[in-house]
């Protein structure tokens, strides 16, 4: 009997809560340096031509704070496609499972010596199932490499927050669905450079933050 | 002269192991340049190696040393450059004690330089000209120190036989009784002299599951490094080599190789009416490879015939089987079994006998990668390394290297 009036109230509350969530948007001034990799084909005389994709500099913007720790619902993917990692930079929440599908016709051998996650997936075929995967359970930066193709380099940034986003190549970003409160907003630009700013978020507000 | 590179190697090695990983990654990016909207790109890279050997004399393979120990530093620079998707250029320069480990002084060499033109992006055809590794076999794909699980080469690529390109035998009896001493070892030749960076041109490509490669080079597979440079040997006695490969899937590879070329360097004792171009080395090779997860397996068999002045045909067969397994992301082990057999030749008294004693060698190696740029390898070899020596030969080798 009581449910008849409780349900609309509950829905109204959820709806108001969603509307009340804060948004941060802005721009990170990215470095102009970008990598245009060169493939070593010295002893692979039978190789396809092609030019490797150029990776534009990107940043990861994330909100640091004491958030309830939830296991990420979705797996992520880092593909090996046309002799490159795609995406070249992937931020994930701690506990995320990342699959590494091989979409090339040749072997790859992904490995990481990074302290946050050491692994070596070995050589596996494009059609191999299950697709090799790793769970990233410690925050930190993981450098992905291929033991066969030395030019291949990828990054996984494991974060202890569910609130993060990768900038576009112009440095623009927008993070939605943020809770109110005082936090640190960080912009990870490279293994050596992370910029940060204090932010105070209010219900329903949109805040603009630029780095630097 | 030697102290400066040695101390540089030591300090660079220490720096690399102690947290210079990111610095080396940034160095890699710094040494990569591009122009014309990334159409033209070039990358400079290299390795710094320090090898130490302890062995019973005479040393195995192509190691040239009068004492039982040898320290062999090596600095290698690579240049890879491309212009669009059709033009690729690479070069390799080395500063070391010689192409093969030796106790001689340091020397600087351009071991490889080649220009490749790939008209179609699907890889059906690639034309290459320059000084580069032979297309025969598949060991060349992993012959550089970072990729080679071992410190040395498989037996067919380094075991010197009684065939000499510098001092051919004056009689069949002399050939059949040849004993190779440590001091004279460098006068004799293996079936394939290492990676065979001779000069010439090649054509290669892939058609479905098949790949092909053919080359016309200035020196035979057994020719010594001094002959690889076109300025030293010219191109008047070319060697023709080819390989046909079959790759049913990424895990398996199979290949057939063949080569024919003149190998002699001196005409001093040739029979009347004969010239250097009349004596060939003929090689027929088979290779197979398999890779799956943390396993890699390779095998090659080479049948070689040397046309020896004053002797006739000297046939030999050499093979090896090699396996590598990664126990952890950083730690790997490898085993290799090598053998070489020698056929009979007829001596001056019309008696037949093997022209050399059969040889076997087992190689065991382990490696540890401290970082993605630093690696330590240890190797032990046991075998009958050289004909004419009683008992077994031993070799212990250690190699530390930094890659940038």
Per-residue pLDDT for B255 more than 90? Answer: yes
| Residue linked to tokens 């380099």 | A153
pLDDT at A128: 85
> What is B211-262 written as a DSSP string?
EEEEEEESS-TT--HHHHSHHHH-SSS-EEEEEEEEEEETTEEEEEEEEEEE
Q: Identify whether the C-beta of residue B375 lies closer than 8 Å to the C-beta of residue B401.
A: yes
Contact (CB, 8 A) for B209 and B246: yes
Q: Is B326 on the interface with A (CB under 8 A)?
A: yes
Dihedral-angle region of residue B341 (phi above 0 means left; psi in -120 to 50 means alpha; beta otherwise): beta
Which residues in chain A have their CB less than 8 angstroms from residue B133's CB? 42-43
Q: Cβ contact (<8 Å) for B81 and A38? A: yes
pLDDT digits (tens, 9 = 90+) for B293-314: 999 999 999 999 999 999 999 9
pLDDT per position as a tens digit, A102-129: 999 889 999 999 999 999 999 988 888 8
Domain boundaries, chain A: 3-211
Q: Do the bridges between strand B252-262 and strand A194-201 make them parallel or antiparallel, or are there none, so unpaired?
A: unpaired
Contacts of B274 (CB under 8 A, 6+ apart): B309
pLDDT over 60 (residue A6) = no
Q: Which chain B residues touch A50 with a CB distance below 8 Å?
A: 85, 121
Whether residue A126 and residue B206 make contact (CB cut-off 8 A), yes or no, is no
Q: B384 is written with which tokens? A: 């009958």
pLDDT at A62: 97
Q: What is the per-residue pLDDT across B61-98, written as a single tens digit (0 to 9) for each? A: 888 888 899 999 999 999 999 999 899 999 999 999 88
Q: Which residues of B49-69 are buried (b: 16+ CB within 10 A; e: fewer)?
A: bbbebebeebbbbbbbbeeee
From CA B154, how far away is CA B368, in angstroms rounded?
21
The pLDDT mean for chain B works out to 90
Element holding B12 (H helix, E strand): helix B3-17
B346 lies within 8 A of chain A by CB: no
Give the pLDDT confidence score for residue A44 in this predicted structure: 81
Residue-level pLDDT at A154: 94
Q: Which residues contact B239 (CB under 8 A, 6 or more apart)?
A: B198, B200, B216, B217, B218, B219, B220, B221, B223, B259, B260, B261, B262, B281
Q: How many CA atoms lie within 13 A of A187 on its CB side?
A: 27
Query: Which sequence spans correspond to the domains of chain B?
Result: 3-403
- Give the mean model confidence (pLDDT) for residues B266-281: 89
pLDDT band at residue B385, thresholds of 50, 70 and 90? low
Confidence of residue A45 (pLDDT cuts 50, 70, 90): low
Cβ of residue A51 closer than 8 Å to a chain B Cβ: yes
CA of B142: which chain A residue's CA is closest? A43
Residue B29 confidence (pLDDT):
84
Residue B112 contacts A, CB cutoff 8 Å: yes
Please name the residues in contact with A185: beta carbons below 8 A apart, sequence gap of 6 or more.
A24, A61, A62, A63, A64, A196, A197, A198, A199, A209
> Does the pLDDT at position B191 exceed 90?
yes
Q: Looking at the complex, does the CB of residue A9 fall below 8 Å from at least one CB of chain B?
A: no
H/E element, A17: helix A3-20
| R_g of chain B, CA atoms, integer Å | 21
Note whether B29 contacts A33, CB cutoff 8 Å.
Answer: yes
Bridge partners for B257 per DSSP? B243, B285
* H or E segment to which residue B9 belongs: helix B3-17
Give the burial class of B246: count Cβ atoms within 10 A of its Cβ; 0-12 exposed, 13-18 middle, 19 or more buried: middle
For residue B172, the 8-state DSSP code is H
Q: Residue B210: pLDDT above 90?
A: yes
A1: pLDDT strictly greater than 70: no
In chain B, positions 243-262, which contact chain A (CB-CB < 8 Å)? Answer: 245, 249-251
Q: Which of A67-71, B233-237, B392-396 has the lowest mean pLDDT?
A: A67-71
pLDDT tens per residue across span A123-136:
988 888 899 999 99
B1 — pLDDT class (breaks 50, 70, 90): very low
CATH architecture of the region A3-211: Sandwich (2.60)
Q: A8: pLDDT confidence band, cut at 50, 70 and 90?
A: very low
Q: Summarize pLDDT for B106-159 with one digit per residue, the tens.
A: 899 999 999 999 999 888 999 999 999 999 999 999 999 999 999 999 999 999
Residue A13 has pLDDT above 60, yes or no: no
Q: For an interface test with B, give the residue of A31, A49, A145 to mutate (most B CBs within 10 A).
A: A49
CATH class of the domain at B3-403? mainly beta
- The pLDDT confidence band at residue A17, using thresholds 50, 70 and 90, is very low
For residues A20 and B98, give the distance between their C-alpha atoms in angstroms, rounded to a whole number: 73
Q: Hey, is the C-beta of A44 within 8 angstroms of any chain B C-beta?
A: yes
DSSP string, B295-354: EEEEEEEEEEEEEETTTEEEEEEEEEEEEEEESSSSEEEEEEEEEEEE-EEE-TTS-EEE
Q: pLDDT tens-digit profile of A52-79?
A: 777 788 999 999 988 877 777 789 999 9
Which pLDDT score is estimated for B386?
56
- Rounded average pLDDT over A183-212: 92
Say yes or no to pLDDT of B168 above 60.
yes
Confidence of residue B17 (pLDDT cuts 50, 70, 90): low
- Average pLDDT over every residue of B374-397: 83
- The structure tokens 């067919």 sit at B156
- The answer to whether the CB of B174 falls within 8 A of the CB of B347 is no
Give the strand pairing for A96-99 and A76-77. parallel
Interface contact A45-B38, CB threshold 8 A: no
Q: Quick check: B207 pLDDT over 50?
A: yes
């Amino acid at each position: 009997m009581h449910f008849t009036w409780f349900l609309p109230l509950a829905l109204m509350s959820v709806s108001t809560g969603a509307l009340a969530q804060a948004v941060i948007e802005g721009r990170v001034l990215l470095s102009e340096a970008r990598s245009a990799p060169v493939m070593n084909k010295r002893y692979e005389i039978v190789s396809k031509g092609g030019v490797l994709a150029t990776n534009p500099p990107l940043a990861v913007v994330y909100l640091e704070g004491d958030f309830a720790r939830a296991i990420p619902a979705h797996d992520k993917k880092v593909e090996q496609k046309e002799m490159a990692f795609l995406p070249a930079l992937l931020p994930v929440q701690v506990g995320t499972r990342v699959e590494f599908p091989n979409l090339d016709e040749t072997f790859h051998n992904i490995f990481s010596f990074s302290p946050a996650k050491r692994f070596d997936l070995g050589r596996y075929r494009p059609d191999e199932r299950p697709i090799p995967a790793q769970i990233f359970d410690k925050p930190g930066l993981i450098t992905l490499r291929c033991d066969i193709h030395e030019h291949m380099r990828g990054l996984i940034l494991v974060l202890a927050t569910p609130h993060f986003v990768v900038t576009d190549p112009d440095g623009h970003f927008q993070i939605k669905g943020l809770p109110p409160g005082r936090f640190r907003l960080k912009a990870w630009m490279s293994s050596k450079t992370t910029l940060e700013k204090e932010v105070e978020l209010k219900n329903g507000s949109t805040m603009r933050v630029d780095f630097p | 002269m030697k102290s400066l590179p040695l101390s540089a190697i030591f300090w660079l090695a220490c720096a690399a192991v102690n947290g210079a990983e990111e610095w080396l990654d940034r160095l890699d990016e710094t040494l990569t340049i591009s122009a014309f909207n990334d159409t033209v790109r070039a990358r400079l890279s290299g390795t710094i190696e320090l090898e130490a050997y302890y062995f019973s004399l005479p040393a195995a393979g192509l190691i040239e040393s009068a004492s039982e120990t040898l320290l062999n530093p090596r600095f290698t620079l690579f240049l890879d450059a491309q212009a669009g998707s059709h033009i690729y250029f690479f070069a390799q320069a080395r500063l070391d004690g010689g192409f093969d480990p030796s106790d001689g002084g340091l020397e600087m060499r351009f071991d490889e330089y080649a220009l490749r033109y790939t008209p179609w992006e699907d890889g059906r055809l690639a034309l290459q000209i320059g000084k580069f590794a032979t297309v025969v076999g598949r060991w060349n794909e992993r012959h550089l120190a970072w990729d080679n699980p071992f410190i040395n080469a498989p037996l067919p690529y380094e075991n010197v036989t009684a065939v000499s390109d510098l001092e051919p035998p004056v009689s069949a009896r002399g050939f059949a009784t040849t004993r190779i001493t440590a001091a004279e070892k460098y006068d004799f030749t293996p079936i394939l002299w290492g990676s065979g960076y001779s000069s010439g041109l090649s054509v290669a490509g892939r058609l479905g599951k098949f790949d092909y490669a053919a080359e016309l080079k200035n020196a035979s597979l057994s020719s010594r490094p001094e002959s690889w440079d076109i300025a030293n040997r010219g191109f008047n006695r070319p060697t023709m080599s080819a390989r046909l490969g079959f790759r049913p899937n990424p895990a398996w590879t199979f290949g057939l190789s063949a080569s024919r070329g003149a190998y002699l360097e001196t005409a001093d004792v040739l029979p009347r009416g004969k010239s250097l171009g009349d004596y060939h080395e003929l090689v027929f090779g088979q290779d197979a490879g398999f890779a799956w997860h943390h396993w890699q397996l390779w095998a090659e068999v080479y049948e070689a015939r040397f046309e020896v002045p004053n002797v006739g045909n000297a046939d030999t067969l050499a093979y090896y089987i090699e396996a590598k397994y990664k126990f952890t992301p950083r730690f790997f082990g490898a085993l290799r079994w090598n053998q070489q057999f020698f056929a009979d030749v007829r001596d001056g008294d019309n008696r037949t006998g093997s022209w050399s004693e059969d040889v076997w060698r087992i190689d065991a190696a382990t490696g540890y990668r401290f970082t993605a740029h630093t690696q330590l390898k240890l190797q032990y070899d046991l075998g009958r390394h050289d004909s004419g020596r009683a008992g077994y030969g031993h070799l212990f080798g250690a190699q530390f290297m930094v890659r940038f």
